[in-house]
Copies of this chain bind each other. A is one copy, B any other.
């Protein structure tokens, strides 16, 4: 199965994009709602969580892993790839490649959580491929809570998006990467505030494209992926609000299954 994890429910934008591109493929999803959000937490803590989430998905039968979380992809990719002997996908590289392919002026903006932006990962990856590119980034820590609350069209959300986007607009970027799997839900507002000439790259969609391309090129992997129409969605905590948010993001009602955790502080 295709195993997908996120800090919470934002990763369901990646699930949706994969379901559109690979209909019938079984997905096993894990959303770490008991510890969400990751974007304000340290690289060490997020890496530990990413490893636990990967272990969980492997135990449930995942054959490939998609880290559907920009924060985890930013800080934990190397550790996860080095620790497991199966295909691991992250959401950063596909967005980076598309931005460099489509940007004319090579003035590229990135928005993401504080952890993603602080990691500098997008800038490093872009400059490694094309050192002439100019990269401008902005941490937008309040956008995840606004999306989780379902405040997708409220005036307060518009004001906050405008405030975050302003420094990028001033730099006259021609391309903006949505470096957080929650942000596609605010795409319309972001497009309005950054201007309609700016090309927005949705890292959830580019990640889904990269999984599709990989499967097309690797029939041996494709063969072992289940296609029984039996996707499952696990979460580490469950509330009515989480169920509501999941429905909004995935645009369909799904059954969230609760997984318990055992923890001790040392």
A10-18, A127-135, A143-151, A198-206: which lies at the B interface?
Answer: A143-151
**B142:A237 contact, CB within 8 angstroms:** no
A36 CA to B155 CA, complexed, in Å: 27
A156 CA to B155 CA, complexed, in Å: 9
A237 CA to B159 CA, complexed, in Å: 31
Contact code string A190-225 (vs B, CB < 8 Å = 1, else 0)? 000000000000000000000000000000000000
Closest B residue to A265 by CB, please name it.
B56
A234 smallest CB distance to B (angstroms): 8
**B142:A146 contact, CB within 8 angstroms:** yes
Q: At the interface, is chain A mostly helix, strand, loop or mixed? A: mixed
A64 smallest CB distance to B (angstroms): 19
Q: Of B41, B56, B115, B238, which is within 8 A of A42 by CB?
A: B238
Q: A262-B266, A266-B261 are in contact. Are A149 and B141 (CB under 8 A)?
A: yes
Q: Of B52, B114, B265, which is within 8 A of A236 by CB?
A: B265
Q: What residues of B have a CB within 8 angstroms of the CB of A159 in the complex? A: 155-156, 159
Closest B residue to A155 by CB, please name it.
B159
**A264:B261 contact, CB within 8 angstroms:** yes
A141 CA to B144 CA, complexed, in Å: 12
Q: What residues of B have a CB within 8 angstroms of the CB of A265 in the complex? A: 30, 52-53, 55-56, 236, 259-261
Closest B residue to A32 by CB, please name it.
B265
A110 CA to B186 CA, complexed, in Å: 31
Q: What residues of B have a CB within 8 angstroms of the CB of A30 in the complex? A: 265
Q: What residues of B have a CB within 8 angstroms of the CB of A52 in the complex? A: 263-265
A166 smallest CB distance to B (angstroms): 13
Q: What residues of B have a CB within 8 angstroms of the CB of A55 in the complex? A: 264-265
A262 CA to B45 CA, complexed, in Å: 11
A261 CA to B261 CA, complexed, in Å: 12
